[in-house]
Amino acid sequence: MAVYQAILHFSCNDQGWAEAWYRNTELTDLAAIWDATLPMAQKRQAMLAQGASIKAMSVGFDDVKFDSELRYTNLPGTMALPDATPVLVDSPDAAVCIRFRSAAVGTRKNVFVRGVPDDALIKGATFNNAYTPFVNPATAWIGFLVQNGYGWMGRTVGSNGVVIGYTVDVNTSRITLDTTANFFAGGQVGTILNVTVSRVNGSAGSPLNRELQVEVLDTDQCKTVEPFAVFAFKSPGFIKRFNYGLRVVSGASFQRGGTRKAGKAFGVRPGRARARPHG
């Protein structure tokens, strides 16, 4: 199965923000994936006070760039009191922090959800867990994420090693890194991994000293996916291998209220300055 990313684009009071979630899928058609993801967006819609909306949603595979299914949609906030009185959004910056857990790897992720009314907060800072117009749909949304395998992408350090040398492919400018023995596992040969390189060439530095995607050639050798312009190897450095994968949500809890500054609404760009005559 492949991992895809779903991005929800929100709009409120001429401002906006985005939220991203990941999920495993056996589907290969992005249009079908978009349709399958819509119920999750509708659960999130129910948490929005009136005046906020989900303006668009895009889906795309995590390891494929520049290819996604983006559709503009109108999913406005529908929050109301039990007597059907509309609940209006007060500020696009008001937010509730929800802490998500992933049992498989024991990690957590804080997500500040916006589009909430001031009544969901006490004095603008403390979460009001008795405010059912928000708590009930939010609880249903969290349960939907758990039941349907949504989560976030994360990484953990797999192992540490030393870069003992490198060579440059004169045709492609990709760099082959030589590492300490058995830095990579045998089953990783032929795969693409994320590594972090540091201290190569000492004080002289190197453009390789950063996070890299590499193709594993052998248990002690890998090759950068991207080309680099580098000088000759001078001195060893360090390399860390990361395990990068999906952290599936196993549960969540409401933490606190707060503010997170919203940005420009999706699709809105600053206008060009008026042309002025010269001479």
pTM, rounded to two decimals:
0.73
- Domains, the chain, in order of start with CATH, read 2-149+249-264 (no CATH), 155-246 (2.40.30)
Which of the four pLDDT bands, split at 50, 70 and 90, describes residue 66?
low
Which of the four pLDDT bands, split at 50, 70 and 90, describes residue 277?
very low
What span, in angstroms and rounded, lies between the C-alpha atoms of 241 and 239?
7
CB–CB of 35/17 below 8 Å?
no
Q: What is the pLDDT of residue 268?
A: 53
Number of neighbouring beta carbons within 10 Å of residue 248: 20
Q: What is the pLDDT of residue 43?
A: 96
Predicted confidence (pLDDT) at residue 119 exceeds the cutoff of 60? yes
Question: Residue range 153-171: average pLDDT?
Answer: 87
Query: Residue 254 is which amino acid?
Result: F
Q: What is the pLDDT of residue 272?
A: 44
Question: Residue range 62-80: average pLDDT?
Answer: 82
Least confident piece of the model among 21-30, 96-105, 158-167, 196-205 = 96-105
Mean pLDDT of the chain: 87
Q: What is the pLDDT of residue 201?
A: 92
Percent of the chain with pLDDT over 70: 91
- 29 versus 122: the higher-pLDDT residue is 29
Q: What is the pLDDT of residue 175?
A: 94
Q: What is the pLDDT of residue 273?
A: 43
Question: Residue range 163-189: average pLDDT?
Answer: 92
CB–CB of 176/223 below 8 Å?
yes
